[in-house]
Amino acid sequence: MWFQALFYSALLCAREMLAPEDGSADLVRALNNRLLALSFHIREYYWIDMRKLNEIYRYKTEEYSYDAVNKFNIYPDQISPWLVEWMPNKGGYLIGNLQPAHMDFRFFSLGNLWSIVSSLATVDQSNAILDLIEAKWSDLVADMPFKICYPALEGQEWQIITGCDPKNTPWSYHNGGAWPTLLWQLTVACIKMNRPEIAARAVEVAEKRISKDKWPEYYDTKRARFIGKQAHLFQTWSIAGYLVAKLLLADPSAAKILITEEDSDLVNALSCAISSNPRRNRGPKSSQKSYIV
C-alpha cells in the first residue's frame, strides 16, 4: 500500500512540474489517465471496513463476467481470524496485496497516512482511517508511536514470508516495530482532516520517553516497550519526526506545502467511473455497456 501512495504522489508532483505548453499536453494527458486509473483501483478494491469485510465473507467464487461482485476471485477463507475480531464498527483502512487475489489484510501505516495526505483516499475514507487509529490506539500507538504495520507476522507466516529473518522477528523492525519518525506523517494527515488532537495525543505519548531513550530508530514488542534490539540511537529521522510534528501542531498552516487537495476534474472523472462500475449496479441486464477503468 505504501508503494501505491508514494507513486500517486510522484505522479502528482510530475504533473505539477510540467509547464503548460503544447509539448507537454500528451504527458499531462497520460499522467491524468494514470492518476484516474490508480485512484479508482485503490479506492474501489483496496478499501476494507466492517461493511466490506462482511461482503467478502459472503463472496461467491469463480465469477467471471462484467457484473461479477467478486471481481478478483478472492476466497472468503482468506480473511484472517484476527481481522474479524480487530476491525472496529467505525473506521477502515486501505489494505495491500501480495499477488492477484491474495490480499494482505494487515494495516500498513505509511501507505494509509500518505493516502490521506495525497488525497489518494476519499474524504470519507481518510476520516475512517483516523477513526480506526483512535479505536485501535492501544495497538497502533501504545507506549510509543507509531506501529509501522499491524499485526506482526508470527510462526509459520514469519518463517515463509521473511525467510526466518532474524532482524524482522515478530514485533520488531519492519515486522510490527514502532517508528517515531512516522509522527510527522500522522500529524500532517490529522491536520489535513482538521483532527490535530489525534496527533497531539500521539506526540504526548512519544515525548514521555523518546529523549530519555536517546532518540532510537525504532521500538520493539507489541506495545513498543523496548528499544529495538538492533536500533541505532540519536537518529536524525526520529528527532526530525518529533520536531516537525511539534512545529506543525504549533502552526498548522505550515502543513499546506505537504498536503494535496483533491483535484476537482479527477473527482468528477472518478464519480463517472464508479457509477458505471458493474459491482455497484448489479441487477437486471440492460443494453447499456459497462466499462471498467
The domain segmentation of the chain, as residue ranges, is 49-105, 110-262
Mean pLDDT to the nearest integer, 248-256: 97
What pLDDT digit, counting tens, does each position of 182-197 carry? 999 999 999 999 999 9
pLDDT bracket for residue 90 (50, 70, 90): very high
pLDDT: is 130 or 293 the higher one? Answer: 130
Give pLDDT, residue 69: 74
293, pLDDT greater than 60:
no
280, pLDDT greater than 60:
no
227: left (phi over 0), alpha (psi -120 to 50) or beta: beta
Mean pLDDT to the nearest integer, 200-227: 98
Backbone angles phi, psi at 103, to 5 degrees: -85, 145
Query: Strand, coil or helix: what is 274?
Result: helix
In the DSSP assignment, the letter for residue 248 is H
Q: Spell out where 91-162 has E strands.
A: 92-94, 96-99, 102-104, 107-108, 149-150
**What's the full length of the chain, in residues?**
293
Q: Spell out where 143-244 has E strands.
A: 149-150, 219-220, 226-227
pLDDT: is 223 or 72 the higher one? Answer: 223
What whole-number distance in Å separates Cα of residue 182 and Cα of residue 5? Answer: 15
Architecture per CATH, domain 110-262, reads as: Alpha/alpha barrel (1.50)
What is the rounded average pLDDT for all residues in the chain? 88
Percent of the chain predicted with pLDDT > 90:
66
Percent of the chain predicted with pLDDT > 70:
89
pLDDT bracket for residue 98 (50, 70, 90): low
What whole-number distance in Å separates Cα of residue 224 and Cα of residue 145? Answer: 8
279, pLDDT greater than 80:
no
